[in-house]
Amino acid sequence: MIRVENLVKTYGPVHALDGLSLNVEPGAVYGFLGPNGAGKTTSMRILSGLARPDSGRAWILDKEIGTSGQDVRSLIGVLPEEPSFYGWMTPREYLRDFVAPLFGIHGQVANKRTDELLEVVGLKDDANRRLGGFSRGMRQRMGIAQALVHKPPVLLLDEPVSALDPAGRKEVLDLIETLRGQTTILLSTHILADVERVCDVIGIIAKGRLIVQARRDELLASYVTPLFEIESDNGFGHWLEWVEKQAFVTKVTVSNHTARVLVKDVHEAQNPLLESLARAALQVRRFEMIHPSLEDVFLRLTEKEV
Amino acid sequence: MFRTLLTKEFREWWRTWKIIVFMAVFLITGIVSPVLAKYTPQLLKSIPNLPVGLADFIPAPTVADSVAQYIKNTEQFGVLLVILLTMGVMAQEKERGTAAMLLTKPVSRSAVILAKWLTGMTIVLVGLLVDGLACFAYTVVLFEPLPLGAFWTLNLLLLVYMGVYLTVALLASTLARSQGIAAAVAFGGLIVLIILGSIPYVSDYMPGQLVAWGSSLVLKGDKVAWPALGVSAVIIAAALTIACLRFEREEI
C-alpha cells in the first residue's frame, strides 16, 4: 500500500533521510516512531508531495510519488504536525466549500459529509465560529476532519494527538480504531502508549534509516527480557541454593523479599521454577515474567543508533 | 478546482476587508480628483493677504486639470495599494502553513498562482471602474463631458500599468518565504521600474509611458507608447510564468 525504497534527503550538511526503506501493508495502522530529528516529518512531507527526495522512490497504491501523471494526492488524507487554516473561514466553510470541492465533492454530498465529520471530531457546536479563534487542540481536530473529507484509502498522520487533552486523545485514538482495516494509516508520534494501543506494525527510525520494522507483538516478544521476579513473604531459604545451580539460570539477585532470576530461555525456565517454588513451600506473593514496554525497546534501539 | 480556488480568493478579499479598503480608496480618489482640480484655484485665491496681482496668475481650472489630478492620484494610490495588498498573498500562505495544507490536496500549483493573479486583476479592474465612474460624473458636473472612449482607454492603460506592479508583487511573494522579505522584494521591484523609467530612451519602453499615453488620448495630445505596452505585457507574462515555475518546484 505504501512502499518506500532508499529515500535520501539532505538539507545542507544534515542527512534528514539516509536510505529509508519501509513497507506498509493494506489496512495496517503503522506506528512510525523515532527521536526528534530522525526524519519522520521529512518522510511524511515526501509522501504527501510537499518535498522531493534527492534519490530513492516511493509509491502509494502502486502510484509512484513525484512522477508526472501519477498524482497520489486524491488517494491520501494528510494531517501535518501543526495544521493551519484560514482564520476568516469557519470549519463548515473550510470543509464544505473549500476542501470537499477540491476533491470533486459538491452540493448535498459535501454538506452531509461536513456534518458527519464535524460530529465525529467534536466540533459540531463550533461549526460556524471563525477558525482564527481556535485553540491548538481544536485545530488538530479540524486537521483530522479535513484529512478524512474524501474517505481516503491512505491516511498520513503526523503527531495526530500531541496537542490534545486526555479526553480528546482517547476520542481520536478511538476514531483511528474505527478506521482500522478500511484505511491504511501511517501514524508518526512520540507518544509510545498511543502506538502500543492502536498500531499493528511499528517502524522505528533513527538518523534517517529504518532500524526495525515488525508487528507490535513480535517486536515486544523479540526484545523480551529473560527475567523472572519472585516475591515471597517467608524468604527463599534453600531454594536459592537450588536455583543458582540450575543450568538454565544465568544470574540470581535478592533484595528484601524479592528474587530476580535471569534465565537463558524464559519458556524453558518457567515450569521448573514454578514447580520448585511449590516444592519449597514458599509463601509466594508474586511470580512475574518481566515484559519490556515499547519504551524500553524504543530506547534500547535508538540509543544504540545514536 | 480552479473555480474553488478563485471563490476562496474572492471570499478572502471580501472577508478580510481588503476589497472594502481598495474600493473606498478608489472611490475617494475618483471623487476628490475633479473636486480638487475645480476648487484648488478658488481656495488659493481666497487666502487672506495674498500679494497684489498674484491671484491673476492663478489659472482658471479646466477639464485637463481634472484629468491630470485623476491620473496622478490613481497612479500613486493605486500602485501603492496594489503592492501592499498583493505582496503577502503567497508568502503569508507559506509562512502560516496554509499552503502546506492546500498542496496536499489535488490542486495544480500554477492554478493557485493564477487564481490569486486573476482575483487581484479583477479587483483592480472593478476599482478602476468605480474610480473612473466617480471621476467621470464629477467632471461632467463641475467641468464638461469627457471624451468617453478616450477616458475608458486611459483606464484600460492604467489597468495594464497596475497589472505590472501587481504581477511583480505576486512574483516577489512567491519567491519569498516570509512577508517581510516579500515586501522588500516587491518595493525593490517598484524602485527598479521607477529608476528605469527615469533614464532617457529606456523610459520610452517602461510601463510609466502608458499613463502618459492615456493622458494624451483624453487631452487630444499625440503621444503614443506601443513599445511600453508591449514591454508591460512581456513583464506581466514573464513574472507570472516565473512565479508559476518557481512555485511548481518549491518545497513547502
The predicted pLDDT at position A124 comes to 92
Interchain pair A102, B12: CB under 8 A = no
A255-279: average pLDDT? 87
Check residue B72 and give its pLDDT: 92
pLDDT digits (tens, 9 = 90+) for A19-47: 999 999 999 999 998 888 889 999 999 99
- Residue B10: pLDDT band (50, 70, 90) is very high
pLDDT given at position A177 = 87
Arithmetic mean of pLDDT, A164-169: 82
pLDDT of residue A80: 92
Mean predicted lDDT score pLDDT of chain A: 88
Residue B202 belongs to domain spanning: 2-249
Question: Within its chain, how far is the Cα of A234 from the centroid?
Answer: 44
If one counts the domains in chain B, the total is 1
Mean pLDDT of A219-235: 81
Chain A residues touching residue B103 (CB < 8 angstroms): 49-50
Instruction: Measure the CA–CA gap between B91 and B113, rounded to whole angstroms.
Output: 12
What pLDDT shows up at residue B12?
Answer: 95
How far is it, in rounded angstroms, from Cα B202 to Cα A16?
49
Band of residue A55 on the pLDDT scale cut at 50, 70, 90: very high
Q: Record the cell numbers describing residue A28, joined without a space.
A: 495496517
Q: Do A50 and B16 touch (CB under 8 A)?
A: no
Alpha carbons A20 and A18: distance in angstroms, whole number: 6
d(CA B176, CA B183): 9
A78, A85, A89 member nearest B104 (Cβ):
A78
Chain B residue with the nearest C-alpha to that of A46: B251
Mean pLDDT of A93-110: 96
d(CA B130, CA A159): 50
Considering only CB atoms, B98 lies closest to which of A48, A84, A102, namely A84
A271, pLDDT greater than 70? yes
The candidate with the shortest Cα–Cα distance to A158, out of A275, A33, A54, is A33
Q: Which helix (H) or strand (E) holds A75?
A: none
Of A31, A5, A39, A12, the residue nearest A205 (C-alpha) = A39
- For the question of an ipTM over 0.90, the answer is no
- pLDDT per residue over B19-56, tens digit each? 999 999 999 999 999 998 888 888 877 777 777 677 77
Q: What is the pLDDT of residue A165?
A: 83
Largest Cα separation within chain A, whole Å, is 80
Tell whether the model's pLDDT for residue A118 goes beyond 60: yes
User: What is the interface size between A and B, counted as CB pairs within 8 Å?
Assistant: 61
pLDDT band at A305 (very low <50, low <70, confident <90, very high): low
- Minimal CA–CA distance to B9: which of A214, A49, A126, A97? A97
Inter-chain CB proximity B100 and A50 less than 8 Å: yes
Domains of chain A: 2-220 (3.40.50.300), 225-290 (3.30.70.100)
Q: Which residue of A has its CA nearest to B106?
A: A73
Contacts of B97 in chain A (CB under 8 A): 80, 82-84
| Residue A245 Cα distances to A100, A213, A240, angstroms | 70, 38, 9
A55: left (phi over 0), alpha (psi -120 to 50) or beta: beta
Query: Of A26-30, A42-46, A295-299, B105-109, which gets the smallest average pLDDT?
Result: A295-299
Which residue in A52, A78, A80 is closest to B97 by CB distance?
Answer: A80
Is residue A306 very low, low, confident or very high in pLDDT (cuts 50, 70, 90)?
low
* Contact assessment for residue A154 and residue A75, using Cβ atoms and an 8 Å cutoff: yes
